[in-house]
């Protein structure tokens, strides 16, 4: 579904990605993990067209999309839950969800399904999103991304800064999505919770993928965690 090879990108004269590789098959849930500043968000931005790579390849369903505009990437089937949430503060919960709605996959995701996944959003559907708690906003932006009916859902820092009960809600949501065959790329720091849903970890170090394997394989290689994750 997504294949990134030899990706190079950065900001001005500062290069962040040097030779990034990443492959996601349909129905997989994979992670991109590493210490802060290693290039995780830059990888996501480069995939989504929010940052124009200098070299390399980004193929979506076999089609070269490197450097395409973000709306073209979205049309190709990628949905993003960005770091920092970024809900449309002046719109209500319902308006946020409808703003990105796209009929794809036979309209699998609609308001009814989103409210079923996150009942709290239905309770607050008429509130402006800027009045929601951080956890509620995270539910909202996950729902907003699903309303695009994506082939691949990307979550950048899926549970960062959230209360434990909200983190559990997000992980339960991802487990549900996995059981339904959704394809997901998740960035997060909680290895224990990710182990519930992730099929394969990809570790990034200084703009390059340096290790990949299952959660079980990573758990059996403490030297890898110590070297690249600082845990």
Q: Which of 191, 181, 188, 193 is nearest to 213 (CA)?
A: 191
**pLDDT band (50, 70, 90) for residue 107:** low
* pLDDT of 106 above 80: no
Identify whether 17 is part of a domain: yes
Given this model, what pLDDT does residue 28 score?
96
Residue 103 has pLDDT above 60, yes or no: no
- Count of structural domains, the chain: 1
Q: Residue 103: inside a domain, yes or no? A: no
User: Tell me: the pLDDT tens digits for 49-97?
Assistant: 999 999 999 999 999 999 899 999 999 999 999 887 788 878 999 999 9
- For the domain that residue 210 is a member of, what is the CATH number? 3.40.50.300
In which domain, by residue range, is 13 found?
1-77+193-231
Question: Judging by beta carbons within 10 Å of its beta carbon (0-12, 13-18, 19+), is residue 165 exposed, middle or buried?
Answer: exposed
pLDDT tens digits for range 169-206: 999 999 999 999 999 999 999 999 999 899 999 999 99
Q: Is residue 87 part of a domain?
A: no
Residue 126 lies in a domain: no
Residue 2 included in any domain: yes
Provide the mean pLDDT of the chain.
Answer: 92
The structure's pTM equals 0.91
Q: What is the pLDDT of residue 191?
A: 92
Task: Look at residue 8 and tell me if it is in a domain.
Answer: yes
């Amino acid at each position: 579904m997504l294949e990134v090879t030899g990706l190079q990108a950065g900001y001005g004269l500062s290069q962040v990605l040097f030779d990034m590789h990443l492959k996601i098959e349909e129905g997989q849930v994979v992670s991109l993990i590493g210490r802060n500043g290693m290039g995780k968000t830059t990888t996501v931005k480069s995939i989504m067209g929010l940052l124009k790579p200098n070299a390399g390849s980004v193929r979506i369903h076999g089609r070269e999309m490197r450097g395409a505009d973000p709306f073209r990437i979205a049309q190709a089937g990628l949905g993003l839950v960005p770091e920092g949430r970024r809900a449309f503060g002046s719109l209500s919960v319902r308006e946020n969800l409808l703003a990105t709605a796209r009929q794809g996959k036979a309209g699998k995701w609609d308001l009814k399904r989103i409210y079923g996944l996150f009942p709290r959003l239905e309770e607050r559907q008429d509130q402006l999103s800027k009045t929601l708690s951080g956890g509620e906003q995270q539910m909202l932006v996950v729902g907003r991304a699903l309303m695009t009916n994506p082939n691949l859902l990307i979550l950048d820092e899926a549970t960062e800064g959230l209360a434990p009960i909200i983190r559990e809600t997000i992980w339960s949501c991802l487990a549900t999505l996995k059981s339904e065959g959704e394809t997901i790329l998740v960035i997060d720091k909680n290895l224990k919770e990710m182990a519930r849903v992730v099929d394969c970890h990809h570790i990034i170090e200084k703009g390059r993928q340096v290790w990949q394997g299952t959660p079980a394989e990573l758990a059996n290689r403490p030297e890898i965690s110590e070297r690249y994750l600082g845990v």
